Amino acid sequence: MFAESSLNVRNKRVQNLFRILFMMMTILLIIPVIIILGTLIAKGGSIISFDFLFTDPTNGMTAGGIFPALLGTIWIVAVALLASVPLGIAAAIYLNEYAGDNWFTRIIQLAIINLAGVPSIVHALFGVGAFVIFFGFGTSILAASLTLAIMTLPVVIVSTRESLRAVPQAFREACWNMGATRWQTIRRVVLPNAVSGILTGIILEVSRTTGETAPIMFTGAAFFLPFLPQSVFDQTMALSLHLFVVATQVPGVPDNLPFGVALVLIAMVLLMNSISIAFRMYLRGKKKW
């Protein structure tokens, strides 16, 4: 009575076909990641050492370490965060918690989406015009960081907004009906419950910012500098640009040096992302709706 019919057999065969097809595509996805990491470790792993990380480059960048570039990247990313995070979070809070859905907010929304779509080289030229020349910061950490900040602002706004939106409306209702103002509601209920998502977004932004090259090469990152930056108005070396330079611009660089730089760069990004994931898991475990 319940025996298999030929139609059942055919349907099952098709179903299996698709399952295997999609599984193979998924596996295909992780192959590049494995190859990239594998190549970098195989070719650049040998150069990684304490000295590599913490000494200056020597012999026209064909030997020595990457300390100025490593430090410069940290500088640029930190200053970019200081600029973009408060601005982005404030904008996201305004858009999600205060502003209604009207033509004004829709235009802002559109602007944010477009800002996210602007190519990084265009941001770089904007940075030159605005920060280097118009505001007179010169090519400096400040100009480079502000350029990066503008570029990553949409990411911060969008991710923050998503986290705010994920806080159930019922919590806000509960607060408002007890006579809480918007700000009291945001401060006491919305932000505490959105903070894990907001922080995750910020850390992801950090990892993106770390690798950017174009926006900083005209605005603040230097080819080679024999000294470390003393303030945000100095130029600095940066890992991403340094990688470009040693890989293509300098003759006689030993093979493992660019791979080593790339490995450090990618390790920084992966480290950031892992922290972000661990953090999110920790905070998620604590909350329950």
Partner 1 sequence: MHTASAEIIENTIPEYAIRTRKLNLWYGTFQALFDVDLNIRNGMITSLIGPSGCGKSTFLRSVNRINERLGYVRINGTIDVLDKNIYDPDVELVQVRKKIGMVFQRPNPLPSSIRENILFGHKLHAGGGKTSKADQDEIVEASLRQVLLWDNVKDHLNKKATDLSLEEQQKLCIARLLPVKPSVLLMDEPCSALDPKGTAAVEELIWELRGEYTILIVTHNMAQARRASEECIFMLMGKVVEHQLTQDLFVTPDKKETADYIEGRYG
Choose, by CB under 8 A, the member of 170, 248, 251, 285 that binds partner 1: 170
175 makes contact with partner 1 (CB under 8 A): yes
Q: Label residues 94-111 b or e (16+ Cβ within 10 Å = b).
A: ebbbeeeeeeeeeeebee
Choose, by CB under 8 A, the member of 15, 39, 114, 181 that binds partner 1: 181
283 makes contact with partner 1 (CB under 8 A): no
Choose, by CB under 8 A, the member of 37, 99, 125, 189 that binds partner 1: 189
Pick from 222, 280, 278: which is nearest to 61 by CA? 222
Q: What is the chain's Cα-based Rg?
A: 24
DSSP codes, 87-148: HHHHHHHIIIII--SSHHHHHHHHHHHHHHHS-HHHHHHHHIIIIIIIS---SSHHHHHHHH
The least distance separating partner 1 from the CB of residue 175, rounded to whole angstroms, comes to 7
Q: The tokens 């960048």 sit on which residue?
A: 61
- Phi/psi at 265 (5° precision): -60, -50
171 makes contact with partner 1 (CB under 8 A): yes
Choose, by CB under 8 A, the member of 82, 107, 174, 277 that binds partner 1: 174
Of 97 and 234, CB closest to partner 1: 97
The least distance separating partner 1 from the CB of residue 89, rounded to whole angstroms, comes to 20
Q: Is 42 helix (H, G, I), strand (E, B) or coil?
A: helix
13 makes contact with partner 1 (CB under 8 A): no
DSSP 247: I
289 makes contact with partner 1 (CB under 8 A): yes
113 makes contact with partner 1 (CB under 8 A): no
**Could you list the residues that contact partner 1 (CB under 8 A)?**
100, 170-171, 173-181, 184, 188-189, 193, 287-289
